[in-house]
């Protein structure tokens, strides 16, 4: 878990992190979130002489932002947690915004990060899975049911590898950091090898690594061009662990996308700028949206 006090101008004033503690069960995770937020609020009072004006929280899984409910998160083991109401009560009734973790990170990248100034952007996070955030005029589109941006479950290899979502051939089965790690571990014979090791092997000229890497790049390009065709973003922002490979990823990816587009207008394809602070900054932006922003002395969590 990461937490921060964020100024009205988006400045990170204070940051902290701690283990999620999911091994103790979903109720313990919720209790830790509430306690963490209360500690952050108390720090704000000590440091700035007043509590935060609003709070934002971003969580993984399925999120009903309108109702303030964390609907489902497999890795946290919870269902239908009224997190907004619980957090508002714990923080003395301040306004609370609840968001999806990737969409919240995408909001920060779009407003104050790599997509700053773009009225239409797509943020794609390449981590254990793949998810996206669709940015429109300074906000992120959640969709009618909260599922917008799930580009990781676009089928790019029909009839391919089974995905836990129930489909076969989903993008994240081929182009996520987890997928690249698995493919490279099998190719090199080292069960402990991961995507970062594969990237280093690509850079050193290893032919096996290049094959694994190119297969992932090609799958990712197929998924991205589908998204570009549907959404027509001006800026395409790539983040997550796999993006840390830098130009080892971006150079072949730009070329693969270029080869696939026909009538589509290619967007600017850029790396994310905010790193692992994007989620905290995005949560701060969600909180800021809840309050009157005319007083620059106030802070948000």
- DSSP state letters, 201-267: HHHTT-HHHHHHHHHHHHHHHHHHHHHHHHH--SEEEEESGGGGGTHHHHHHHHHHHHHH-SSS-PP
Among 18-22, 103-107, 168-172, 258-262, which stretch is predicted with the lowest mean pLDDT?
Answer: 18-22
* 80 vs 62: CA distance, rounded Å: 9
Among 120-124, 143-147, 170-174, which stretch is predicted with the lowest mean pLDDT?
Answer: 143-147
Name the CA dihedral angle for 154, 159, 162, 163, rounded to a multiple of 10 degrees: 10
Q: Measure Cα distances from 168 to 126, 147, 156, 233 in Å.
A: 19, 19, 9, 27
**What is the band of 294 on the pLDDT scale with cuts at 50, 70, 90?**
very low
Q: Determine the average pLDDT of the residues in 278-291.
A: 90
The reply to whether 114-273 shares the fold of 2-101+277-293 is yes
* Confidence (pLDDT) at 83: 95
For the chain, list the strands marked E by DSSP.
2-7, 12-17, 55-59, 62-64, 69-73, 78-81, 96-100, 120-126, 130-136, 139-141, 235-239, 268-271, 299-300
Among 194-198, 265-269, 291-295, which stretch is predicted with the lowest mean pLDDT?
Answer: 291-295
The pLDDT tens digits of the residues spanning 91-118 come to: 999 999 999 989 999 999 999 999 998 9
pLDDT at 69 over 70: yes
Most confident of 41-45, 118-122, 220-224, 287-291: 220-224
Domain spanning 114-273, CATH class: alpha beta
The pLDDT tens digits of the residues spanning 167-220 come to: 999 999 999 999 999 999 999 999 999 999 999 999 999 999 999 999 999 999
Where along the chain do its domains lie? 2-101+277-293, 114-273
pLDDT at 293 over 60: no
pLDDT at 26 over 60: yes
**228 close to 261: Cβ distance less than 8 angstroms:** yes
Domain spanning 2-101+277-293, CATH class: alpha beta
Per the prediction, the chain carries an average pLDDT of 91
* Confidence (pLDDT) at 292: 59
- The label of the residue with tokens 């796999």 reads 242
pTM: 0.86
């Amino acid at each position: 878990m990461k937490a921060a006090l964020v100024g009205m101008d988006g400045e990170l004033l204070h940051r902290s992190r701690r283990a999620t503690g999911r091994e103790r069960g979903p109720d313990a995770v919720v209790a830790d979130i509430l306690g963490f937020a209360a500690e952050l609020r108390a720090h704000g009072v000590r440091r700035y002489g007043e509590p935060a004006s609003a709070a934002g929280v971003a969580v993984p899984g399925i999120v009903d932002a309108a109702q303030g409910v964390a609907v489902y998160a497999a890795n946290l083991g919870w269902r239908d947690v009224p997190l907004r109401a619980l957090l508002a009560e714990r923080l003395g009734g301040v306004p609370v915004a609840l968001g999806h973790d990737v969409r919240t990170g995408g909001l920060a990248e779009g407003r104050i990060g790599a997509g700053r100034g773009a009225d239409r952007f797509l943020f794609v996070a390449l981590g254990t899975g793949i998810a996206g955030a669709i940015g429109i005029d300074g906000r992120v589109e959640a969709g009618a049911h909260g599922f917008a941006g799930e580009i990781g479950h676009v089928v790019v290899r029909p009839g391919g590898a089974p995905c836990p979502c129930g489909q076969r051939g989903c993008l994240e089965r081929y182009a996520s950091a987890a997928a690249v790690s698995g493919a490279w571990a099998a190719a090199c014979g080292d069960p402990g090898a991961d995507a970062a090791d594969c990237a280093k092997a690509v850079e050193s000229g290893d032919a096996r690594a290049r094959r694994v890497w190119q297969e992932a790049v090609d799958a990712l390009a197929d998924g991205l061009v589908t998204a570009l065709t549907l959404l027509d973003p001006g800026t395409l922002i790539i983040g997550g662990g796999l993006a840390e490979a830098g130009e080892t990823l971006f150079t072949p990816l730009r070329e693969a996308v270029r080869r696939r587009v026909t009538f589509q207008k290619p967007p600017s394809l850029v790396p994310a700028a905010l790193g692992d602070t994007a989620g905290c900054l995005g949560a701060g932006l969600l909180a800021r949206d809840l309050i009157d922003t005319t007083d620059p002395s106030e802070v948000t969590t």
